[in-house]
Amino acid sequence: MLNKQIYPLLIVGLIAISTSPVIAKLLPNVPAAVIAFWRMAIASAVLWIYAGVFSHSSKSSNNTKLVYLAGASLAMHFIFWFGALKLTSIANTTVLGIVAPAFTLLIERLIYGKRINTLSAISLIIIFIGCTVVQGSNLGKFSGEGLGNAMAIISAVFLGIVFLIGSKARQDIGVLPYTKNLFTVSAVVLLISSLSLNNSIFNYSIENYFWLFMLGIIPTLIGHTIFSYSIKYVSPTILASIPLGEPIIASILAFVLFNEGITSHVFIGGIIIAAGLLLLIKNNTN
């Protein structure tokens, strides 16, 4: 059962991560991998400084490899997620990006042999129908907005992997060392990815670096750290479902700041996805 004391933290985390797509839209000239790198680098740097200044004794983890794998998966999540934002709307990216619970359940079935009951199977079908509706006329297209929509779904797969791995790794390691190493590994992977793509890490405007800093602090240091803390106490499927409210918050901000509307197929598809996710959450908390 979900610990009720975690609810306030999860709400703060939800609000924090909902600012991510809005801030990213303010960085049109910065490549996706570079945005992701600076986001992770800034957050990890703050955590290393904090750990150096304050004494935090924590037993060593027996799951170091899992932390590395989670960090690499988080890096891939951000590459695809920010890449999606470059090609499609905030509404599309956030709606399709919240289907991570479906993938955590599928991965648990494939890797750990967890049984999927009938109600969960129905929930998954509803969610993927919703994803198809959101795609609209872009279904099957792998360019422009269609590619962006597909990248948003792929980002959800990697986020589901992060939550699954994190639920195991966090059982014997504190939130600070876990999050610090998670973000650091992710930053290293993203740095290598950026350099491999011949993307410049520097040479951007002061305004760009300001928003990159905000991206590292608000949705990452605050939002994702809260999730890293909570993963020890709630199931990965439930935790992956918390961002269900992100499309609502982010879409409102996108409309106010960028005059981005929500198309009918995204609205209808979003409702279908939300219904499927709520059914999945209810079924997996009994």
Joined together, the tokens standing for residue 242 give: 């918390």
Residue 114: CB atoms within 10 Å: 14
pLDDT tens track for 143-166: 678 888 889 889 988 988 888 888
Q: Dihedral, CA atoms, 123, 127, 128, 132, nearest 10 degrees?
A: 150
| Residues contacting 209, CB < 8 A, separation 6+ | 38
- Tokens found for residue 200: 């410049």
How far, CA to CA in Å, does 267 sit from each of 22, 143, 251? 19, 22, 11
CB 185 within 8 A of CB 234: no
Check pLDDT > 70 for residue 58. Answer: no
The domain containing residue 181 runs over which residues? Answer: 4-284
The average pLDDT across 34-39 equals 96
Going from the C-alpha of 106 to that of each of 30, 35, 246, the distances in angstroms are: 34, 30, 22
Name the domain count of the chain: 1
Mean pLDDT of the chain: 83
Residues 144, 150 contacting (CB under 8 angstroms): no
**CA 172 to the chain's CA centroid:** 23
Three-state secondary structure call for residue 231: coil
Banded model confidence at residue 1, pLDDT cuts 50, 70, 90: very low
What band does 64 get if pLDDT is binned at 50, 70 and 90? confident
Q: Is the Cβ–Cβ distance between 123 and 279 less than 8 Å? A: yes
Per-residue pLDDT tens for 87-98?
888 888 888 877
pLDDT of residue 16: 92
User: Measured between alpha carbons, how far is residue 17 from residues 22, 55, 215 in Å?
Assistant: 10, 28, 9
